Amino acid sequence: MNAIILAAGLGSRLKEITKNKHKALIEIKGIPNIERTILYLKEAGINEIYIVTGYLSGQFEYLTYKYGCKLIKNDKYREYNNIYSFYLASKYFCNSYVIDSDVVLFRNLFLDKPISSTYYTITRPKSDELEWNPIINESGIVTDIIISSEYLPSLLGVSFWDQDDSAKILAELEKYNNLSVLEDSKLYWDNIPMSLLGSMEIRVRELSICDAYEMDNIMHYKFISNIGEW
Three-state SS string over 117-160 comes to CEEEEECCCCCCCCEEEEEECCCCCEEEEEEECCCCCEEEEEEE
What confidence score (pLDDT) does residue 229 get? 46
Mean pLDDT, residues 140-159 taken together: 95
Mean pLDDT, residues 65-87 taken together: 97
How many C-beta atoms lie closer than 10 Å to residue 127's C-beta? 10
d(CA 173, CA 196): 11
Indicate the pLDDT class of residue 227, thresholds 50, 70 and 90: low
3-state secondary structure of 211: coil
What confidence score (pLDDT) does residue 127 get? 81
Indicate the pLDDT class of residue 189, thresholds 50, 70 and 90: very high
Length of the chain: 230
